[in-house]
Amino acid sequence: MQSNAAEVQPVTAEAVPTEERVDTLPSFFPSCYLEFELMVFDVARTISKTYQGVSGYWQFYRLSNGGFYMAPHCDGEFEVTIPFGNGFRGSLSADAFGVAVTLYAYCFIAEKFQDADLADHYARLYDYMSDHKEAGSIWQAID
């Protein structure tokens, strides 16, 4: 007996090649790419004293479902304290930190620009986060 239910594929991430970086943010966020990037950095500084701009290079990632996120390109953990919302305190890898920071940035920018596409990007990244190896910690940080 065949199943009619579509098999759900996990969302995967692929690093954006260096030569494509310059066009990446404008292609995902044509109306607010500068504000989005600045918001990501602002959220990172706000939620982690470990970050404080130490990791200047952020890797961009395209998701297989059309989403996007960015994460500091470094090893190690980031100590995180959420000063708004639930007050989460914990440690996240650079990649998990980037996912959490990007999710917060989507929320704040979507509210400012009232852009439904940003809400869609949040949903796509949330879907990716669901299968992330640190999903539980990321979820606690953004809840």
Cα separation of 107 and 9, whole Å?
A: 26
Confidence band for 9, pLDDT divided at 50, 70 and 90? confident
Structural domains in the chain plus CATH codes: 15-142 (3.30.70.3580)
Cα separation of 79 and 76, whole Å?
A: 10
Answering whether pTM is above 0.85, one says yes
Cα separation of 19 and 30, whole Å?
A: 19
pLDDT in tens, 37-76: 999 999 999 999 888 766 678 999 999 999 999 999 998 8
